[in-house]
Amino acid sequence: MLSFFKRKEYKMAKKKRRKRLPNGLGTISKMKDGRYKPYVARKAAITLPDGTVKRDLVGTYATYEEAYQALIDPTVHVANATTLMDLFEIFKNTNEFKSLSESTQSRYNTDIKKLTDICYTDIQKLRYQDLQKVIDKLENEGYQARVNGKMVTKKYSQDVIKKTIVLISKLYTIAVKNEIVSTNLAELLEISTKKKKKNFNIFTDIEIEKMFNNLDAHIMIRPILLAIFTGLRPIELVALEKSHYDRKNHTLYGMGAKTEAGISKIVVLHPRIYEIVEYLYKNSMKYLIHIDNEKLTTQRYRRQFKQALEVLNIPVRNPYSTRDTCAALMNRYNVDKETIKNQMGHVSYSTTSDNYIPVDLDKNLHEIEKIQ
């Protein structure tokens, strides 16, 4: 019969010693909240130029040995991925993700949180119905937001839900490529086809002429006309720098937003606003649209936009009404579809026609007047 000390030595001898991680490889920690994958592997800490310390997550694992192997051989990480959250961590380490803008990366980090109901479930156990249930929940229940100090329920836009489906599809693509699953279920997901009709409120010809006749009535009159004749988004307008203006060719470039087509677009200026852009150019230090040479935020631009219209007794509209008006004018005068697409910074003409071209009452009146 073994003595107490002999038994203790025997147990210690039987206990398998964990492999020690090489210096500089990373760390493995264990969470104590009962998770089925409690071991967390992280890469070695690096100090960024701003002084903050960054430790990239490699993944979570059921055993210490799996976490160890993931740090030693990164390819093991993909093989051990079993949940959407695992796949999301892999996605964040891809060149595709790292090449995205900070705002797009932030959006994906927000989108994964919308999948809380399923993101920790074994992906091989997920069925189409599980994914569709999450999408339906987003569409039907919306989210909580604080408005004037009170929590209210708001609806997600179709665009937001579509982008969430795009993320699911990207994660499933990684899983399919690595033979974790055989089918990309995201391709089967659907959202409601009911789409609220956009309430267009474009500027009339009379209102536009009123602005041209009162350029100095408010500091924002010229920027509003620039927006009407270029179709620039408010965020693009306030970001306009002198360097974006090609004085020789009367074009604006390098200031697009939202889509790849928007980022690379070149906007051709209409002759009616040549003098306006020249005025803005000569009266600015860096940003064409400014107040006391200070760049405007989109919120401040919105306030100034409202004030400018009020000064001229023009009904107040959403700042995006300038973009709607530009699309309507191009449509009225039969500008070719390719030019409209390029000017608006869209990938396809249908995006412009579906979202920016309303029923144009001025055009209808002009056509009706043709009747003798």
**Residues 216 and 281 placed together within one structural domain of the fold:** yes
Structural domains of the chain, count: 3
**Residues 57 and 99 placed together within one structural domain of the fold:** no
At 352-372, the pLDDT tens digits run 444 444 444 454 444 333 322
CB within 8 Å of 107: residues ≥ 6 apart: 163
Question: Which of 139, 162, 188 lies at the terminal end of a domain, its last residue?
Answer: 188
**Residues 60 and 112 placed together within one structural domain of the fold:** no
What distance in Å separates the CA atoms of residue 259 and residue 235, rounded to the nearest whole number? 13
Query: Residue 38's domain spans which residues?
Result: 27-75
Mean pLDDT of 311-322: 93
| In a domain? residue 176 | yes
Say if CB 228 and CB 202 are below 8 A apart: no
At 46-104, the pLDDT tens digits run 776 567 777 777 777 788 877 777 776 655 555 566 788 888 888 888 888 888 888 88
Contacts for 315-323 with beta carbons within 8 Å, 24 or more apart? 315/201, 317/201, 317/203, 318/201, 319/227, 319/234, 320/233, 320/234, 321/201, 321/202, 321/203, 322/203, 322/224, 322/227, 322/228, 322/231, 322/232, 323/227, 323/231, 323/232, 323/233, 323/356
The amino acid present at 155, given as its one-letter code, is: K
**Residues 66 and 103 placed together within one structural domain of the fold:** no
**Residues 232 and 301 placed together within one structural domain of the fold:** yes
**Residues 256 and 353 placed together within one structural domain of the fold:** yes
pLDDT at 20 over 60: yes
**Please, which residues bridge with residue 251 across strands?**
246, 268
| In a domain? residue 90 | yes
